């Protein structure tokens, strides 16, 4: 048996008379029975069982001497932090035996080398504190606590003050002093002055410009260029545009190049105002050893710089029904043109 257990058993004989002086005869008998059974389990090295009985005896009859047995049992179980805190509770108890204080203090010094000690105070002093996830307790009961080495969080609160907290990282044998000061939160800012609303002013609605969907027939002219993606040349275009209802447009243009010709077709604008996707279809005709006819489909986008000016970029595919010798039967042809409208 360890020295701590020997010291524990040495206080048994002194503890029993203290129980005998209890005013409550029922509590005295129950506490003494629990205590004696705890001593028996302690001698049998059943430390958890002895600890439970000592704590039950202390609940029925609080005594500093029973605290000493609880602390000694915790030390035997290797629960240094709880043992140290219980030894400290014994030293702080008004009924602690003055002749045993020095012995308990020496045991506490040995344990304190393995744990961390925190002296804790709050402002105001009647606040509550919480250590890690433990229950909240009055700060006056936690003025000196032992903690395992490592990270801990200590919190304080009182009514509308707080909570505030402080994080600690403690080493074995460390001693720290912590003061948690709670202050009332600043008052809320004054509510802004509410001014009465200004007198109502009747404003005539602004005229709404007709959108592309509501526009009537518009006439325009265009110039542009159609290129061969293989880099074999390009032709220019000069044409007229006839817009209907804002979304649809008929086109006719003259093709100017090595093989002159013409183009007729239509375009549908899909959506938008400033930038408008589009699709188009048409029939180009070139005069090279006779008339050469194709069908064209294209997709692209129109950028409306203003109501009267647009730039149109398309990527089209042309299929020639009777291709000339120097024209591919199927061609991919991008085009770019500027369109001015009235």
pLDDT of residue 19: 46
Domain boundary among 59, 81, 111: 111
Query: Tell me, what DSSP letter sits at residue 93?
Result: S
Q: Which domain holds residue 221?
A: 214-341
The answer to whether position 192 is within a domain reads: no
Q: If you average pLDDT over residues 242-246, what whole number do you get? A: 76
The answer to whether residues 70 and 30 belong to one domain is yes
**CB distance 85 to 146 below 8 Å:** yes
The answer to whether position 86 is within a domain reads: yes
Structural domain count of the chain: 3
pLDDT of residue 70: 96
The CATH number assigned to the domain holding 67 equals 1.25.40.10
pLDDT of residue 121: 94
The answer to whether position 200 is within a domain reads: no
Domain boundary among 52, 80, 111: 111
- The pTM score is 0.46
The answer to whether residues 143 and 98 belong to one domain is no
CB proximity list for 288: less than 8 A, separation 6 or greater: 259, 324, 326, 327
Query: Is residue 214 pLDDT above 60, yes or no?
Result: no
pLDDT of residue 9: 43
**How large is the angle between the packed helices 80-92 and 98-112, nearest 10 degrees?**
150
CA distance 317 to 340: 25
Residue 94: phi and psi, rounded to 5, are -70, -25
The answer to whether position 131 is within a domain reads: yes
The answer to whether position 188 is within a domain reads: no
| CA distances from residue 26 to 32, 61, 336 in whole angstroms, order as listed | 10, 10, 108
**CB distance 289 to 324 below 8 Å:** yes
Q: If you average pLDDT over residues 308-330, what whole number do you get? A: 83
pLDDT digit string, tens, across residues 29-76: 999 899 999 999 999 999 999 999 999 999 999 999 899 999 999 999
- Which pair of structure tokens corresponds to residue 226? 């159609």
Residue 2: phi and psi, rounded to 5, are -75, 170
Helices (H) and strands (E) in the chain, counts: 7, 15
State how beta strands 175-181 and 218-227 pair.
unpaired
The answer to whether position 93 is within a domain reads: yes
The answer to whether position 75 is within a domain reads: yes
pLDDT digit string, tens, across residues 149-188: 999 999 999 988 878 999 999 999 899 999 999 988 777 8
**CB distance 312 to 278 below 8 Å:** yes
pLDDT of residue 4: 47
pLDDT of residue 206: 63
Residues of the chain with pLDDT > 90, as a percent, come to 43
Burial class (CB in 10 A: 0-12, 13-18, 19+), 200: exposed
The answer to whether residues 219 and 264 belong to one domain is yes
Of the candidates 94, 89, 192, 100, the residue with the CA atom closest to the CA atom of residue 145: 89
* CA atoms 255, 260, 266, 269: torsion sign: negative
The answer to whether position 278 is within a domain reads: yes
CA distance 116 to 63: 27
CA distance 148 to 151: 9
The answer to whether residues 271 and 321 belong to one domain is yes
The answer to whether residues 82 and 122 belong to one domain is no
| Residue 225 banded pLDDT, cuts 50, 70, 90 | confident
Query: Is residue 14 pLDDT above 50, yes or no?
Result: no
pLDDT of residue 216: 62
The answer to whether residues 232 and 289 belong to one domain is yes
Domain boundary among 111, 134, 169: 111
The answer to whether residues 134 and 75 belong to one domain is no
The answer to whether residues 277 and 331 belong to one domain is yes
Asked which of 78-82, 104-108, 259-263 is least confident by mean pLDDT, the reply is 259-263
Beta bridge partners of 255: 237, 261
Query: Is residue 212 pLDDT above 60, yes or no?
Result: no
pLDDT digit string, tens, across residues 91-150: 999 999 999 999 999 999 999 999 999 999 999 999 999 999 999 999 998 888 999 999
The CATH number assigned to the domain holding 175 equals 2.60.40.1120
pLDDT of residue 243: 82
The CATH number assigned to the domain holding 225 equals 2.40.160.20
pLDDT digit string, tens, across residues 265-303: 988 888 777 888 999 999 988 787 788 888 999 999 888
């Amino acid at each position: 048996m360890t020295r701590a257990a020997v010291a524990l058993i040495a206080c048994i004989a002194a503890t029993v008379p203290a129980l005998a002086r209890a005013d409550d005869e029922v509590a005295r008998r129950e506490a003494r029975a629990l205590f004696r059974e705890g001593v028996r389990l302690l001698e049998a090295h059943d430390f958890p069982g002895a600890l439970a009985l000592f704590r039950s005896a202390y609940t029925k009859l609080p005594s500093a001497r029973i605290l000493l047995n609880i602390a000694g049992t915790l030390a035997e179980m290797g629960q240094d932090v709880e043992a140290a805190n219980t030894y400290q509770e014994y030293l702080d108890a008004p009924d602690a035996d003055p002749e045993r204080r020095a012995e308990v203090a020496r045991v506490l010094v040995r344990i304190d080398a393995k744990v961390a000690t925190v002296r804790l105070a709050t402002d105001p002093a009647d606040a509550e504190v919480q250590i890690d996830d433990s229950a909240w307790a009055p700060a006056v009961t936690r003025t000196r606590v032992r903690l395992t080495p490592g990270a801990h969080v200590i919190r304080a609160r009182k009514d509308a003050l707080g909570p505030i907290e402080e994080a600690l990282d403690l080493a074995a044998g460390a001693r720290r002093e912590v003061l948690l000061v709670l202050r009332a939160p600043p008052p809320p800012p004054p509510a802004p002055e509410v001014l009465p609303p200004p007198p109502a002013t009747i404003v005539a609605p602004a005229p709404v410009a007709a959108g592309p969907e509501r526009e009537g027939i518009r006439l325009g002219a265009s110039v542009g260029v159609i290129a061969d993606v293989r880099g074999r040349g390009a032709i220019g275009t000069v044409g007229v545009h006839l817009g209907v209802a804002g979304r649809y447009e008929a086109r006719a243009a003259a093709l100017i190049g090595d093989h002159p010709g013409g183009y007729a077709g239509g375009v549908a604008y899909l959506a938008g105002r400033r930038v408008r996707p589009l699709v188009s279809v048409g029939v180009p005709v070139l005069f090279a050893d006779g008339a050469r006819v194709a069908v064209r489909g294209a997709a692209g986008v129109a950028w409306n710089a203003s109501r009267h000016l647009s730039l149109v970029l398309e990527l089209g595919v042309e299929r020639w029904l009777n291709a000339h010798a120097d024209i591919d039967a199927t061609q991919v042809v991008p085009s770019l043109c500027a369109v001015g409208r009235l």
